[in-house]
Homo-oligomer: A and B are copies of this chain.
Amino acid sequence: MKNTVREPQQERSIEKKNKIIKAGYELFTEVGYYGTNTVEIAKRAGVSTGIVYGYFADKRDILICVLKIYIENVSAPLFDIIRSKHGNVVLSDLAHEILDKTIELHEQYAKLHNTLHSLAATDEAVNAEFIKLENSITMQMSEQLSALGVTVENMTEKVHLAMNLVQSFAHEYVFDSHSYINYSKMKETVCDILVSLFN
């Protein structure tokens, strides 16, 4: 006889559900998952506390939705770049393009990324979602590179490493944590590694 979560059909409802996700998204970004409470989410969303549980099973369920949207938001632009390439590609241009876009995305999502990623440690579903994200980026990237005539041994391994490197770098770049690092020099080094990986 447990509360079942409504799957909103009407536009009004979908809108409301989205408002809650947006509020959760903002608050998780600002103060983290454990620093956010459901009353605050409802308030920010402009809905009542109770109705939150009409759309979501529990607080964690909101998190999962936020996570999915986050993943969509960060992966789509990268997929766009990958898919946009036809004919001859200059690898170094592609590397730069991906690097720049990743930095841009990081600037926007870094704090939320940290919050979400941290929960992967204790929440299997969150972890799975991140792995799926990496999977799909790696696979699409690998295929597209092949289609573009790039042929190297151990393609997926290299693509995966490449994406890891790009991610690490973007993180460093955005947070600018280490005073002794010249980040533009570092960026060039990253590009060089990327190019050399696929030549």
Contacts and interface: CB of A to CB of B under 8 A. Distances in A.
Contacts of A186: 154, 157, 160-161
Interface size class of A (residues with CB under 8 A): 35 or more
A9 interface: no
Interface string A129-141: 0010011001100
Contacts of A111: 121
Interface stretch (A11-19, A30-38, A60-68, A91-99): A30-38
A178 interface: yes
Q: Quick one: copies of this chain in the complex?
A: 4
A157 B186 CA distance: 5
B114 A154 contact: no
A177 B131 contact: yes
Given A121-B118, A181-B156, A161 B134 contact: no
A184 to B, nearest CB: 10
Contact of A178 (B1, B160, B169, B181): B160
Contacts of A172: 160, 164
A23 to B, nearest CB: 14
27 contacts: A3-B39, A34-B122, A111-B121, A114-B120, A114-B121, A117-B118, A118-B118, A118-B121, A131-B178, A135-B178, A135-B180, A154-B186, A156-B181, A157-B181, A157-B182, A157-B185, A161-B168, A161-B169, A161-B186, A161-B189, A161-B190, A164-B165, A165-B168, A167-B168, A193-B196, A193-B197, A196-B196
